[in-house]
C-alpha cells in the first residue's frame, strides 16, 4: 500500500471499525480495499469504515467502497461508512448516491 493511506482496525463496544487515514485514489484504492478485507472481522455482522481522517477520496476510492459493500454482502455482512457532516468527502459521496446504497453516519457511535 502506498504511503498515502494507512488502514487500521479496532473494536469498541462490540463494533468493528476500520479507519482510513490519508488519501485514497487510483494509486492505492485496490490496496486499501484488500487491507480492509484483511482487517475486517469475518464474524462481525457490521463493518464500519471510518473516513473521519481521510483527506481525499477520488472516484476510484468511491468505487472501492461500492465493491467492498458487494463483497461484504456476499459474506452476509453489512458495510457502514462514517463521514462527519462538515467533511469535504460528504459532497462527493452525495453526488455518487453512495448514501442510498451504503448507510453513512456522522460519527462512530
Instruction: Delineate the domains of the chain, giving CATH numbers in brackets.
Output: 5-105 (3.30.750.24)
Q: What is the mean pLDDT of residues 26-30?
A: 93
pLDDT score of 2: 47
**What is the spatial distance between Cα 19 and Cα 66, in angstroms, rounded to a whole number?**
17
**What is the spatial distance between Cα 33 and Cα 68, in angstroms, rounded to a whole number?**
7
- In this model, does residue 20 exceed pLDDT 50? yes
pLDDT score of 3: 58
| Angle 76-67-72 from CA coordinates, rounded to 5° | 15
pLDDT score of 43: 85
**What is the spatial distance between Cα 41 and Cα 36, in angstroms, rounded to a whole number?**
9
**What is the spatial distance between Cα 14 and Cα 100, in angstroms, rounded to a whole number?**
25
Amino acid at each position: 500500500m502506498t504511503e498515502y493511506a494507512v488502514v487500521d482496525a479496532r473494536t469498541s463496544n462490540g463494533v468493528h471499525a476500520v479507519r482510513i487515514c490519508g488519501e485514497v485514489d487510483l494509486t492505492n484504492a485496490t490496496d486499501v480495499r484488500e487491507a480492509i478485507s484483511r482487517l475486517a472481522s469475518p464474524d462481525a455482522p457490521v463493518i464500519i469504515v471510518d473516513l473521519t481522517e481521510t483527506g481525499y477520496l477520488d472516484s476510484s476510492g468511491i468505487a472501492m467502497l461500492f465493491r467492498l459493500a458487494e463483497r461484504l454482502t456476499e459474506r452476509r455482512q453489512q458495510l457502514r461508512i462514517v463521514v462527519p457532516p462538515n467533511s469535504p468527502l460528504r459532497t462527493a459521496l452525495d453526488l455518487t448516491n453512495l448514501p442510498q446504497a451504503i448507510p453513512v453516519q456522522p460519527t462512530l457511535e
